Each structure stands twice: as structure tokens, then as C-alpha cells.
Structure 1
Amino acid sequence: MRRLTCLLACVLATAAHGARYEAEGIASLGAGRSAARELALDDARRQIAVQQGGRYAGQSESASGVLAESSMLSAPPVQGTVRVVGEREADGLLYLRVVVDDEPASVAPAAVPAAAPASVAPACAGTALPEGRFLRRRALATFFPLDVPRDAAGLGEISTWLPAELARRLSMRDVASVEDGSRYTLFAGQTASPLAGRAAARGFAERSGAQFVLAGRIVDTAVVRQAPRFSLFGAPGTTAGAADYTGPFAGLVGGSLKVAPTARRFALDVWLYDGLTGALLMDERFEGEARGDVAPSSARAFTPWQLDNSDYGRMVSAVLDRAVGRVALNIGCLPFTARVARAEGGQVVVDAGAVDGLKAGDRLMVYRPQPASEVRDAAGRDIGMSEVLVGDLMLSQVQPRLAIGVMRGGAAQTGDLLRFPRR
């Protein structure tokens, strides 16, 4: 296989005086002249936007005589007056010649970029997108079983609200759109372990359309230190983890001394699976310990919305943030992948759309998995499968949850994969 990678940065500074830009937009007449005129005008505008100051990222790939390309454009709106100066038809296509007279622009003061926090993990090499663009990979967050349920007093239904909270925090980032799948478990009837969930992860991903599946287990929620604390004769809100003090002089204080938790741990394992192959992509443990207000209370529910109400909750929230950061980094370092939902009459429907970061004019490479050619490691575990390059797809329509495009090269089939390769 021969791979050619190109990154074109078309950054053309606009002069203080007016400038003239020209481009020829092209569109098919298959849907009628009015529709073709709008599409050709959009095509010309994209070309002029690049000339005025845009960034274009693309990659081409050749395999077995098939040449395919992927591309993505980020550019500001066209500045100036747009005029159509020429229009012609040829071979079922409409050609529009467009001219833009750029008005003088005021020079804005240069913005000083803010220094990145030292705690921010470096982005993986070669995955930068054009400015202003993002790609959300779809993921499914599943049930997190408890290793020691008896230690989880006062934490509510943590096995279900924890993955839901991970999904919410991950979805706030531009790299992922995560569905709450806390009602699903990868480990029905078996001990939770990273390798035990591979087959189930693959099945859930196929049914949900997810590119990744997130799972794990809650390893430790134990109290590690206790100390006597004063309580005003069993006042409301007494901590459930406290025990009455029965030592010397207990009768003189009316039972107001109780032994209560003062330090508690929290640890969870997080596993990230590839939805297509079930391969384990991440296996990391995140943990912390809180001191102070760590005891469960009958007057306070422990939920994601009330984590800031106690020392223990704030520590758990910080641990979740670290886990989300690592998962986002791992997901963001892998190519965005979508699937062909339907292919009919030369028109291809993709199961991703505007909310996932796609735009009209994007070009994606199309691959066909070869299930019969699964690759195994030395231990006999499936680690992937080979793919055949079919061609590339140009998106012409993008809706919130789907996109429609036209193939170039071979013919797409339902289930084929569409991908922006690593840049």
C-alpha cells in the first residue's frame, strides 16, 4: 500500500486595500437547475474562502489501483460582494464563474494566546484539525460494577450514575459524543475484567453504532481512618458510618461522642474498547483519598449533582475529571470513523452528521472490513481485521444526525466504514 499525506495551509493575509477573488463552482444538474445553481455557488464560495484566509487539510491513499482522498476545510465566511459573472452547462454539470470584490478591512490588534495550563496533557502528534473544526467520535458508557458493595454505603446507585456522569463530562468535549448505556453490562454472570468484556463490547457497539465502548469497575470506596466526633445527642443528619463511643466517661456526655469516618478512598478502573474489533485500547486506574467530611449522611444524598457538598464528593469529582481527560486523549488520538447506513442508486447515507462535526464538502475515505481476515496476537486474541479501500465519498448534504454524499471510485455498501485518517 502506498500512502501519500499532504497538509495544505492556505493562509493568505487580506491586504488593507480591496482585493478581487475569482472561482468557478461546479454542481450536477440532476436535481434541476435551481438546486444546481445553489450548490455551484456554495462550491465557489468555499474556494474563495480558502483564498481569503482558510486552512485545508487533506490526505490521499492508493491501494490496489484505487485512489481515494479525504479533505476538510476551515475558513471564515466570504468577505465582500459576491457576483456571478458567468454561467454555462456541459456534460450534465453547471459551471458558475463567481467574483468577489473584497472591501477594505480594519486591522484588529493581534490577540495574545493564553498560556496553556501545565496540567493539560499534550495532544497526540499528527491529529490536528483545521481551526474551528471538530470531530465527535460516538461512544457508549456502560455499567461499572462494585468490587466491594459493602464499602459503598451512602454512595447511592453509583454503578449507574458514575458511567452516566462520565458520559456527560466526555460529551462536553469536542472529541466525543457519549451515550449513557449504564443499563448495559459487559460482564453478565462473570467477574469484571478488561479482557472479559471484549466480545460484549463489540456486540453493543454494533447495535448502538458506537465507535468506542467505555466500561470499568469501582475498585475501592473503603473508609481508611476513623476518629471520635462530637454529636449533639443524635441530632438529625447523624452520619450512617458512625458508631457510639462507649469508652471512659461516656455517660457524662450523653452519648454525644461517636466514632466517625475521617478518611475514605475512591478508586476505579477504566477500560476503553474499539467498537469494531473489541480490542482493548485503554486500561488505567484512577484513585484518590479524601479527609474530613467523608461519612455518608442520612440528610444528604450522594449524587453527581451534589459532589461539591462534601470533601469526599469533591475528591471523587476530581478523580472523574482525570479519567475523562485520559479517555478524551485516547479517543482524540484515533481516527474519526462513521458507517454507511444505506447505499442506493449512487447516493450514500452516513450515520453521522453536523453534531458529529461533518460539513458539506468534506471528503471521507471508504473502507470495507474483511471479517474473514481477523488478526490475532500471540495469545490467540483478536486484535483487528484487515480493510479494503473502496473509494472516497464527497458529502453534499449534512443534517444533524446524518449526511448524504456521492461515491467516487467503487460502490459503497451498508456497513462500510468512512474515515478521516490521522493527519
Structure 2
Amino acid sequence: MFNPMLRILAALVISFISLSLHAVTMEAEGQALIFNNDLDSARQAAIKNATQQASLQASAIVSSTQTLNQGVLSIDNMQVSTLGMVSNIEVLDEEIKGRMLWVKVRANVDFEKGCPAGVSGHGYQKSVAITAFPLLYPQQANLGKLSSIQTELGNILSNQINQTSNLKALNAGMLNVHQTASTAPTRQLSAGALTTVLDHTRQLDVQYIISGVIRDMTMADSSVIDPNRNILFDLYNRMDYRSKRHLRSLALDLYIHDGFSGALLFSKQYATAGRWNLEPEARPGFASAEFWRLDYGKQTRKMLNQVATDLNNELRCMPFSARITKSDGNLIWFNAGALSGINAGDKLTVYRKSSFFTEDMRSQVQLTNTRKTVTVTEVQPMFAIGRLPDDGAIYNIQPDDVVISW
């Protein structure tokens, strides 16, 4: 008697799993006001509105700030975040009604690619700087002359991220942000307190700062590189080249810091090992052709691929932000433009940046939501101009304040 119930339950479970892991097709309508007979801009805005409606129909999170102005309820600052990513948008119908343009679209909403808490970053290209990875024990890099790993890791990771993700990675491998590698990311302030916050982050002018420390590069068995070895021992090592005795480790810590506040957002440790079958006197250098041919080089490459993948996944689900560079009346300029995916008509929230001191005289950066939305009116490759609903001076908007898209 329970078989029909079990079948129904199984079907529901399968349907839920299918919905959670695959795209669902939604149809929705959107509208936009036509300004100055500009149908192209109205069409883009209407399609964007329709795709948001499709996302909302596929289970969305909407957060908004409602204000009461002279008895009229209005929504001044709206953020729409969905549990999935919209793709394959198809316009089914389009109609002009008075000064309004209506469109009907069909789109796929993919839940598998969605971010926790509905954060999406709206697909904008986030900027990151990858700094040096100092060695905790520099002498460990003497074997094979691998000391350049401290600066070359930033170059390798930035190239890989730029080729495989929607991030803009800058190589800052010559900049060491962890002067004391043994305690990174913690550092001691002059008053004696400990903090994980980076100092002097503004000079990089990026959203996120990637850094790390190389903790270990030792051999599993140091006798294989003994300088006092004899000919028989060398012969044995050559015959036993697949042994675990020849494994060399590589362990590093990875950190992501916010570029505006310096706050530590993410940390993870990675470790691998590969066979190092070269003579102790060999000096291939890090990232050379000979290095990558080694099993140790291949395992290093595999681990760095995983690091790049994790960085992309982690930063993809973080908000997009850009620094305000100029404010004039109700217009503001910010340092992200067409190259970052900004388009005319996009809306971002303005946050005021300020500093304060704690009781132990530690400086802290605070971002305060002004509850005001800036609408992009002009886009250049490296910057954009947006319009506020009121004069920015009313909210004390200044250079170094921030616009954010969740």
C-alpha cells in the first residue's frame, strides 16, 4: 500500500534535485520608459527588467529600502539578487504602449551556478592584485634554485586567472604585504594588539588583494640530497627514482583581503608533493621548462590550477565595488567602465567611506550605505559617470567613497 506514496516521494525528490542542479526555462515580461525616442536604450532596459522578473519567478530574494515621501510610498534603493544565473535570453515579443516599451522574454535560470545568499555581482569584472608569496624558510628553496617562486607565483596565477575567469588580475609579485611570514596574516600593531587587516591597501587601487606564504618545500627524505653521498648511493637513487623518498612537498597559505578596508575575507591552506629526481647540484629554477617536466613541477601546476579555480569561485560570489574618484552636484565618477562590464542604465548603491579609531587606537574603515542609487549615464573604457537622484553634497559624497553592486 506504500508503493504509490514512495513513488510520489521519489518523483518529488528527483524533481527537486533536477531543479537544484539544472537550468529551468522561464518566460517573463518587462517594461521601460522611452526617453527622447531612444528605442535601443529602452529595449535594453526592458529586457533587463524582464530577465529580473524571470529570476524572481524562479525563486528570488528581493531586498529594498522603502521611503514615504509626502504620503507616497516609493522604492528609492532596490537590489535584486537571485538564487541562480540567467542565460540564453530570447526576446519573444515587443510592443510599444504610449511611452512604454514592453518585451516578453524566455530565459534559462541556472541554480547550480548561483551564489549563496543571492549575491551575484551582476557579472561585472572584479579587479584583483596578486602579491608576493614569501618563503617561511628561504633556505628550502636553495635546492634547485627555486627562490624566484616568491615573485613568480603572482605572475603565474594572474595569467591563469585572466585566461580562465571574469576577473582582472594584476601581477604585483614584487610587493610583499607580509613582512613577518611566520605569523601571516596576523601582524602586531604598535600598541601590541594583533590584527589580520592589511595596511596600505589603497596604493593598489583594486577590489581584492591576493597574498600568501609558502610554508614548506622540504624533501621527504633529506638523505637523497646528502652532499656527502657516494657513487653507490647515487646509483641506488637513480634505480629507486619512483620511491616516496624522492617526494618534495609544497605547502602554502592563501589569503584574500578587501582592497578598500584591508579586512581578511578568505584563507585556505594548500599542500601537495611530487618526486624531485634531479641531482642536488641541479639548478633548473622555478617555472623553467625543466622544472615543469619534473613530477614536482607537474604537481605544482595541478595545485596552482586548483588555487586559481578556488579564487575564481570565491570572488565570483563577492560583491562588485569601485572607488568614486570625483563628485560634482548630482554626478559622480567611479573607476570602473566598459572594460569591467559597466553599461549605461546600470544601477549601483553608494557607500560612504569613513575611518574611526577603536579604544585601543586601532584605525578601522567603515562603509555606510547611503541608501541612494547611482544610475550610470556615461561609460568610458576605464571609468563611468552616474547620476544621483539628488545633489551628492547632501549625503557628503566624496572621492574615495565607494559604489557597490551585490
Using structure 2 for the length normalisation, give the TM-score: 0.69
Return the alpha-carbon distance in structure 2 between the equivalents of residues 156 and 69 of structure 1.
Answer: 50
Structure 2, unmatched stretches of 5+, are 1-23, 70-74, 189-194
SS at match of 1:323: helix
Corresponding residue SS for 2:324: strand
CA distance in 2, matches of 1:100, 1:271: 45
| Cα deviation, residue 46, structure 1 | 2.9
**Partner residue of 2:77 out of 63, 68, 83:** 68
**2:354 is the counterpart of 1:365:** no
The answer to whether structure 1 residue 146 and structure 2 residue 146 are counterparts is: no
Per mean C-alpha deviation after superposition, the further-off stretch among 388-397 and 191-200 is: 191-200
In the aligned structure 2, how far is the partner of 1:24 from the partner of 1:328? 34
State the partner residue of 1:319. 303
1:25 to 10, 28, 33: 33
Residue 381 of structure 1 and its aligned partner are, at CA, apart by: 6.0
Aligned to 2:169, the other structure's residue is in SS state strand
Residues 153-208 of structure 1 show CA distances to partners (whole Å, capped at 9, x for unaligned) of 2225110001222223333454632211111112348866212296983413x122
What is the number of equivalent residue pairs in this alignment? 352
- Aligned position for 1:166: 157
Q: Is residue 262 from structure 1 mapped to residue 246 from structure 2 by the alignment? A: yes
- Kept in 2, the 8 Å contact 1:390–1:410? The answer is no
Whether 1:180 and 2:171 are equivalent positions in the alignment is yes
Distance 1:370 1:101 in 2: 44
For 1:43 and 1:305, how far apart are their aligned partners in 2? Answer: 54
Q: Residues 140 and 63 from structure 1, CA distance in 2 versus in 1: closer, same or farther, beyond 3 angstroms?
A: farther
Q: Which residue of 2 is the match for residue 201 of structure 1?
A: 198
Q: Shift in Å at residue 316 of structure 1?
A: 1.2
Identity of aligned residues (%): 19
Partner Cα distance (1:175, 1:375) in 2:
37
- SS across alignment from 2:274: strand
- Give the conservation status (yes or no) of the 8 Å contact 1:201–1:213: no
2:186 counterpart letter in structure 1: L
The equivalent of 2:385 in structure 1 is 404
- Distance change in 2, residues 1:189/1:49 (3 Å): closer
Secondary structure of 1:126's partner? helix
| Deviation at residue 294 of structure 1 after TM alignment | 6.5
Q: Would you say the 8 A contact 1:392–1:409 is kept in 2? A: no
User: For 2:378 and 2:88, how far apart are their aligned partners in 1?
Assistant: 20
Q: 3-state SS of the aligned residue for 1:337?
A: strand
Question: Kindly tell me: are residues 323 and 49 of structure 1, through their superposed partners in 2, closer, same or farther at Cα, counting changes over 3 Å?
Answer: closer
Partner of 2:17: none
Amino acid in structure 2 at the alignment position of 1:275:
G
Q: Secondary structure at the residue paired with 1:338?
A: strand
Deviation at 1:128, TM superposition (A): 4.9
Q: Specify the alignment match of 1:328 in structure 2.
A: 312
CA distance in 2, matches of 1:285, 1:276: 24
What displacement does 1:70 show?
3.9
Contact 1:55 1:75 in 2 (8 A): no
Q: Which runs of 5+ in 1 are unaligned?
A: 1-9, 15-20, 28-35, 87-95, 117-121, 229-240
Secondary structure of 1:223's aligned partner: coil
Query: Is the contact made by 2:375 and 2:387 (CA closer than 8 Å) also made in structure 1?
Result: yes
Whole-Å separation in 2 of the counterparts to 1:101 and 1:194: 51
**Is 2:368 aligned against 1:387?**
yes
Q: Which residue of 1 aligns with 2:324?
A: 340
User: Deviation string for 1:42-87 (max 9, x for gaps)?
Assistant: 124431565599657864235999942345896867758989786x
So what's the TM-score if we normalise by structure 1?
Answer: 0.66
1:4 — aligned with what? Answer: none
Retained in 1: the 8 A contact 2:213–2:253? Answer: yes
Pairing 1:152-301 to 2, within 5 Å after superposition: 152=141, 153-154=143-144, 155-172=146-163, 174=165, 176-188=167-179, 193-196=184-187, 201-204=198-201, 206-225=202-221, 243=227, 245-246=229-230, 262-291=246-275, 293=277, 298=282, 300-301=284-285
Deviations 1:345-375 (A, max 9, x none): 4322221123323222221110102313x56
Contact 1:294 1:311 in 2 (8 A): no
* Larger radius of gyration between Structure 1 and Structure 2: 1
1:134 aligns to 2:123 (yes or no):
yes
Change (3 A) 1:159 1:78: same
- Structure 2 CA distance, aligned partners of 1:275 and 1:401? 18
